[in-house]
Structure 1
Amino acid sequence: MKQTQFSSDFTLGILGGGQLGKMMLYTTRKWDIATYVMDKDSTAPAFQGCDVYFEGDIMEYEAVMEFGEQVDVLTIEIENVNVQALQDLEDKGIAVSPSAKVLNLIRNKARQKSFYQNQHIATAPFDVYPKPTLNHDRAYPFIWKSAEGGYDGKGVKVIRQASDLNDLPQVECIYEDRIDFDLELAVIVARNFDGEMKTYPVVEMEFHPEANQVEYVICPARINMDLSDRARALALQVSEAVEHVGLLAVELFLTKSGELLV
């Protein structure tokens, strides 16, 4: 029997030891939760706050399987993980949240955008390509996004002319209309196993113009109540369609014409 300082033997596993994992641990340390964290970086921020840490690659199947079999609930702090391992852990009875099915959808922008389209959820017009191509009908400027692996401004580029398509990674991607927007907004939705949903207040995001990273998050967003209600309703629509369990951040454009786009 393992020795523990906790009054229960419940263990939460977190794949990824970055800043989001560290912030999650601020809460778990207040509660009766033992935490295991795995990351391949020995200096990962979340290693400072967890009870047990493992150095391992969260993209490696065997590493994720071995880690996941030691915990009661397995979650993530970044979507770039081995999804097949998560599916196999679910099949073994390990609770995985978000599920492998949900993660497989949201980690690929091409699948994600196509899902919105099929669910009649408003989003910026786009096309999917197996790799960057000059053969397209989209007007310049537009946005190139890699289907997978992009984060914190990586995997995104404004295409102002044909030559900007040179030297892009030869991977699946989307070409998306550049939206003339007033604000970038976001709503975090919490959804439980019973399908009950709650939202946090709408926030407003200000991005660095060159780094394409969030510099400021303003809460609550500087918008009227009607717009706030619309943003929350749209976020709930996305949450219900995705059928996730846990937290989902829904990012939105508020266009010049007052439309909200996921």
Structure 2
Amino acid sequence: MSLSQFDSQKRIGVLGGGQLGRMLHQSAINLNLNLQMMDPDENAPCASLIEDFTVGDLEDFDTVYAFGKECDVVTIEIEKVNTDALKKLQSEGVLVYPEPEVIALIQDKRIQKQFYKDNNIPTADFVLTESAEDLKQHEDKLPAVHKMGKGGYDGRGVQVIKSANDIEKGFNGPALLESFVPFKKELAVIVARNQAGEVESFPPVEMVFHPEHNLVEYLLSPALLAPEINEEAEKIAKELIVKLNMTGLLAVEMFLTKDNEILVNEIAPRPHNSGHQSIEGNFTSQYDQMLRAVLNLPLGDTNVKICSAMVNVLGEDGFTGEAKYEGMNEVLKIPGAHVHLYGKKITKPFRKMGHVTITDPSLASLRKKIETVKNTLKVKA
């Protein structure tokens, strides 16, 4: 089976029904596309929006296989899925994008890092560790970052180990120890590739992380970079998706070192937090581009329309329960502020509850608005 022209009747299955699926659904509506979704949470953000919504375990072979059998195309909004079921579906003619082999590679940070090394993709030096005892043999490589091979997400499964005194904080299982990179900026590039081999990347964005919880606090688009660095970041992202032989949307997180070297940190084969601002800030959003890529349609114009920022709306520390939004009226008065809430009823400390995109032609004005949104919009219970 192949897709060669636009067909709004294609049965498109999405594994995952969280906020990324919610925004993907909004793009699908514009093309009169109907998505089928499956998520383990009956109260997932997409549950009340998608007519064909299934509650199911994304890691169970039979559940994923049965869901995919009813689809022409299967894609993902989270990579924690059963890739064996996806491989079987692919062998039986269902189009699976991104390809199961790519998802499996990215699911394991150890294999992912080895792929960079084998394919000359610039990345930080690393060693593989098998246990807590094994980790103790590498004190000479500190300071470093210890990362679980599988299961880490949104800052979980990542531990900074500054000295031998911190080794006990490491993980007792398959992991990797990565040299600590003295970077000056953290960047991200979203890149897409369709089955026709067309590749387009979005201009790099600059990410600013929460100092304690390893979550993106806000980002600036486009990143403030010298032209040659901007060009190199996009080149690496395009090279990476081609070497992966991947169809779909790929988020590439990068470090810009103090020596102006670009190193790939991690990748995600789906829409990403670092691309949310593209809904208002770019001619094509990352969600539009993902649909174009997996349906083998012409890829869209990724250029920036206007300078923008994305501020994550996180649950306040110390509050768990039914979400209440303080400061919403004040934020809605800000020129260029676009509020996106994710439909999550329950807030928890630092849970992603939404984001605010801010557009402004003036960078100085944009920065002031970022601070206003950060200090004004609070999610409590």
Partner Cα separation in structure 1 for residue 136 and residue 260 of structure 2: 32
Assess if the C-alpha contact under 8 Å between 2:8 and 2:31 holds in 1: no
Q: Are 1:46 and 2:36 matched, yes or no?
A: no
Partner Cα separation in structure 1 for residue 236 and residue 101 of structure 2: 22
* Aligned positions, number: 256
Alignment TM-score, normalising by the size of structure 2:
0.65
Partner Cα separation in structure 2 for residue 51 and residue 10 of structure 1: 15
Q: Which residue does the alignment assign to 1:225? A: 227
Following superposition, the deviation at residue 169 of structure 1 comes to 4.2
Q: Which residue does the alignment assign to 1:83? A: 83
Q: Which residue does the alignment assign to 1:18? A: 18
Q: 95-104 vs 43-52, which deviates more?
A: 43-52
Following superposition, the deviation at residue 139 of structure 1 comes to 2.9
Partner Cα separation in structure 2 for residue 138 and residue 213 of structure 1: 29
Following superposition, the deviation at residue 40 of structure 1 comes to 0.8
1:113 maps to amino acid: K
User: Are residues 138 and 70 of structure 1, via their aligned partners in 2, closer, same or farther at CA, if it must alter by over 3 Å?
Assistant: farther
- Aligned residue runs from structure 1 range 1-262, under 5 A: 8-132=8-132, 133-166=135-168, 168-262=170-264
Partner Cα separation in structure 2 for residue 167 and residue 182 of structure 1: 26
Q: Which residue does the alignment assign to 2:279? A: none
Secondary structure in structure 2 of the residue aligned to 1:135: helix
Assess if the C-alpha contact under 8 Å between 2:143 and 2:180 holds in 1: yes
Following superposition, the deviation at residue 61 of structure 1 comes to 0.7
Secondary structure in structure 2 of the residue aligned to 1:45: coil
Q: Which residue does the alignment assign to 1:3? A: none
Secondary structure in structure 2 of the residue aligned to 1:68: helix
Assess if the C-alpha contact under 8 Å between 2:129 and 2:176 holds in 1: yes
Percent identity of paired positions between Structure 1 and Structure 2: 40
Partner Cα separation in structure 2 for residue 237 and residue 167 of structure 1: 35
RMSD across aligned positions (CA) = 1.4
Secondary structure in structure 2 of the residue aligned to 1:253: strand
Alignment TM-score, normalising by the size of structure 1:
0.94
List alignment gaps of at least 5 residues for structure 2: 1-6, 265-381
Secondary structure in structure 1 of the residue aligned to 2:13: strand
1:144 maps to amino acid: H
Assess if the C-alpha contact under 8 Å between 1:129 and 1:173 holds in 2: yes
Assess if the C-alpha contact under 8 Å between 1:126 and 1:174 holds in 2: yes
Following superposition, the deviation at residue 104 of structure 1 comes to 1.1
Partner Cα separation in structure 1 for residue 204 and residue 256 of structure 2: 12
Following superposition, the deviation at residue 240 of structure 1 comes to 1.1
Secondary structure in structure 1 of the residue aligned to 2:253: strand
Secondary structure in structure 2 of the residue aligned to 1:24: helix
Partner Cα separation in structure 1 for residue 48 and residue 154 of structure 2: 23
Assess if the C-alpha contact under 8 Å between 2:192 and 2:248 holds in 1: yes
